[in-house]
Structure 1
Amino acid sequence: MNDLDLFDEGPAEAAEAAPRGRRGRGSRAENAEANKRRRTVLLVGGLAAVVILGVGVWYGVKSLFGLTSYEDFEGAGESDVVVKVEPGTISQTGQSLLDAGVVASVRAYTAAAAENDAASAVQPGYYVLKTKMSGANAIAGLVRKNARVGEMEIRGGFQLDDVTVASGKTNLGIISLIAKASCAELNGKNTCLTPEQVRTAMEKADLNDMGVPEWAQAEAARTTEPRRRFEGLLMPGKYDVKPGESPENVLRALLATSSGRLQAAGLPKAAEKTGFSAYQLLVMASLVEKEAVKEDFGKIAQVTRNRLAQGMRLQYDSTVNYPLDRPNIRTNGSDRDKAGAYNTYAVQGLPPTPIASPSALAISKAVTPEPSDYLYFVRCDKEGRSCFGKTLDEHKANVREAEARGAY
């Protein structure tokens, strides 16, 4: 046994240890020296760890505050390139520029941004810059006037084709807006798509391949006019069009954005308890958008449902004017006599497609109308509000009053 009776020593070990007597465990001087050496080793090791940790922390601080060296190009750049600035931080914008070959490093951009307050005002979207720009020149390129390209806004009630108003002025439709937004100058070459290219893509493209929501594909495909299949599928709002892309790729990107907006507006889920398909509600919402001002959306939506429920023709002038590309409030007898799927004076039920881009509010009111027994309405003041009637006689009286006020 050893002194603590913890370990048994074999016979050979005991015999060897016995002659040493009390010196078998070392003298006090020897033990003290050994302990001193161990403390010295531990102290040196601890100091080394502190030094290494301190160096790491210092390097991190230097990197965080831009004290390390970084790569940067010199000059205003070489060839034109379209860059998309995504929503996010300045460093994320720097990463986008690095990925596009505009700057040499993220640090080149963020350091320049720290010196230019305008960098914080750069909005998400597409910009034409040049490859191999210095960080400072990249900032200058992003904040210069008209630097951003590809901006487009669709408003509630816009339709695909251009519309000619009573004064003879032409209001651009969505197809023309897309073509216009596709324009940029890249290395001396214009990237503009023509309206005809966009229209052809809408006519011939596969709806599924384009990213049209599954719930809309079958009903949109039934129209006898393929160029109208995309009507109503691009919701109001701002969009970014990448110059230089094919019309098919442009449409895919726009539909991807709009599909998210349609879902946020409640489609297709909101249709489940209405008795209508999501696409039918989209069609109704487009009628509401064209026939009424916002204050009357809920009432017009209910009139639409009431007439459909009673088997009445809708008789909406907006549907007659739609294929004529006119926004007129009223129609004449010859217009109403023209055959066509959109003539709701002659055809029972809803038109085959939406007749415009409905807003989220119009969709909401199509899903949940304002309850009433009204079957008729007429625009009865110059602000666009409507007067409603439950009977034909009430409606005729409202029409006479509207005409007397010069409402239309």
Structure 2
Amino acid sequence: MKKFLIFLLICIVGLAAVGSCFYQKFQEFNQPVKAKAQSVVYKVEPGATLRSLGTDLEKRGLLRSARVFEFWGRYLKNGHLIKAGYYNLSASMSPKEILSLIVEGRTASKTVTFPEGLTLKECAAIVEKHKIGTAAEFLHLTTTQGKKYGTIFPYNMEGYFLPDTYTLPLDCNVEFLVKTAAERFKELALPYHSAQSPLSLHDTIILASLVEREAQVASERPIIAGVYINRLNDGMKLECDATVQFALGYQKEFLLYKDLEIDSPYNTYKYAGLPVGPICNPGIESIKAACSPTPSHYYYYVRNDVKGDGSHVFGQNFREHENNIRKYQL
């Protein structure tokens, strides 16, 4: 009996010691190196293991103990789920938080905004600025490889690169960006085009690009789209200033009469119908307007310089248009 009590006591002491050790490791697993620390971008290499990762994190001052990190990773049986990539880590994060972040693959990201109305060339400059890739890489994919992202896209994706703010992985490349933009176009823009839309999808995007560059007041987008539909239906030249700017290859504050004579398939003062392609990448609102223009009897519009808010005055015929020019153009 005495031996049994001694054995029982030893077992109790042993279990208490194991429990104490386990509790200590649990505490360490939830304890950061510092209470406050700046975030750093850390790269988890492909093929990293719990041991190699923990050792490196400890070396960089992001963990107190690589052994504790490895112990809990094995205990939780998720160490094999480590995902390579860039992560925002801090010495103020506990080992548990760090492991969860990396196992779940919550990689570091960056936001890149492409405003409405830019050309692919202008978008390429943004791509290069944010170090996603070179402008040449971006232009090669978007002007020659459009079909690989879906049958709805032409080889040249001018007009189809949807303006938006994109949240991208820190190590995002050009291929990933263009594919993401193509999927976003299909998800957000494509549903607005239907059998009731007055033009084919491609012609709709061309029209939307004109609306994007001409309209400054949101409520006027469908009205301006309707003006162009009326002129198309009556065989009139569109006479859109923005198409001349695109044909010139640069922006001018004021167009001269000689500019309107430039020989380009984009010059809608010289050639009837839509230009041969989009002149920019229109936003969702312009695409919606081109898909569902406002029916009207308007064939003309002129900027309202009296109000000076970017709005326009619309006219039903040329005489009314001339009167509007005299009245509202300064």
TM-score, with structure 2 as normaliser: 0.66
Q: Deviations over 1:187-222 (max 9, x none)?
A: xxxxx52222322333343x232x1x422x3xx34x
Q: Find the counterpart in structure 2 of residue 254 from structure 1.
A: 181
Q: Find the counterpart in structure 2 of residue 54 from structure 1.
A: none
Q: Deviations over 1:260-288 (max 9, x none)?
A: 2223xx24xx3312242122112212211
Q: Deviations over 1:280-328 (max 9, x none)?
A: 1122122111111212112101101000000011110101112444444
C-alpha distance in 2 between matches for 1:286 and 1:80: 41
Q: How many angstroms does 1:73 deviate by?
A: 10
C-alpha distance in 2 between matches for 1:374 and 1:329: 26
Aligned with residue 271 of structure 1, among 194, 200, 203: 194
Q: Deviations over 1:64-113 (max 9, x none)?
A: xx979969998999994289xxxxxxxxxxxxxx9xx69858x88xxxxx
Q: Give the 5 Å matches for 1:231-250.
A: 231-250=158-177
Query: What SS class does the counterpart of residue 266 from structure 2 fall into?
Result: coil
Flag structure 2 segments of 5+ consecutive residues without an equivalent. Answer: 1-24, 58-68, 74-84
Q: Give the 5 Å matches for 1:2-401.
A: 80-81=42-43, 128-129=87-88, 135=95, 138=98, 149-161=109-121, 173-181=122-130, 183=131, 193-205=133-145, 207-209=146-148, 211=149, 213-215=150-152, 217=153, 220-221=154-155, 229-263=156-190, 266-267=191-192, 270-292=193-215, 293-328=217-252, 330-381=254-305, 382-401=308-327
Q: How many residues align structurally?
A: 264
Query: What SS class does the counterpart of residue 271 from structure 1 fall into?
Result: coil
- Relative distance call for 1:284 and 1:82 in structure 2 (3 A) is farther
C-alpha distance in 2 between matches for 1:319 and 1:82: 49
Asked if structure 2 preserves the Cα contact closer than 8 Å seen for 1:283 and 1:353, the reply is: yes
Flag structure 1 segments of 5+ consecutive residues without an equivalent. Answer: 1-65, 84-97, 109-125, 162-172, 184-191, 222-228
Match for 1:203: what amino acid? T
Q: Deviations over 1:158-211 (max 9, x none)?
A: 2223xxxxxxxxxxx211112222x3xxxxxxxx52222322333343x232x1
C-alpha distance in 2 between matches for 1:72 and 1:240: 31
Asked if structure 2 preserves the Cα contact closer than 8 Å seen for 1:81 and 1:131, the reply is: no
- Relative distance call for 1:202 and 1:358 in structure 2 (3 A) is closer
Asked if structure 1 preserves the Cα contact closer than 8 Å seen for 2:227 and 2:299, the reply is: yes
C-alpha distance in 2 between matches for 1:69 and 1:80: 21
Match for 1:177: what amino acid? I
Q: How many percent identity over aligned positions? A: 25
- Relative distance call for 1:401 and 1:79 in structure 2 (3 A) is closer
Q: Deviations over 1:117-154 (max 9, x none)?
A: xxxxxxxxx96547999638859x99xxxx96532112
Match for 1:195: what amino acid? A
Asked if structure 1 preserves the Cα contact closer than 8 Å seen for 2:111 and 2:165, the reply is: yes
Q: How many angstroms does 1:357 deviate by?
A: 2.4
Match for 1:369: what amino acid? P
C-alpha distance in 2 between matches for 1:135 and 1:231: 47
Q: How many angstroms does 1:377 deviate by?
A: 0.7
- Relative distance call for 1:288 and 1:343 in structure 2 (3 A) is same
Structural RMSD (CA)? 4.1
C-alpha distance in 1 between matches for 2:40 and 2:249: 46
Higher relative contact order structure (alpha carbons within 8 Å, sequence separation ≥ 6): 2
C-alpha distance in 2 between matches for 1:342 and 1:401: 30
- Rg larger in 1 or in 2? 1
